[in-house]
Structure 1
Amino acid sequence: MADEEKARIIARLKRIEGQIRGLQRMIDEERGCEEIITQMTAARAALDSAAQIVLRHHMGQCLAQTDPEQRERNLQKALDLLFKTRA
Structure 2
Amino acid sequence: MTEIVEGNPHEEIPDYASEYGIDMVIMGTHGRTGLDRAVMRSVAERVVRRSPVPVLTVRAKRSTEVLSLFDLLLLFASFGG
TM-score band (shorter)? under 0.3
Instruction: Indicate the structure with greater helix content.
Output: 1
**Under a length normalisation based on structure 1, what TM-score does the superposition of the two structures give?**
0.24
**Under a length normalisation based on structure 2, what TM-score does the superposition of the two structures give?**
0.26
Higher-Rg structure is: 1
Structure number with greater CO (CA < 8 Å, separation at least 6) is 2
Instruction: Indicate the structure with greater strand content.
Output: 2
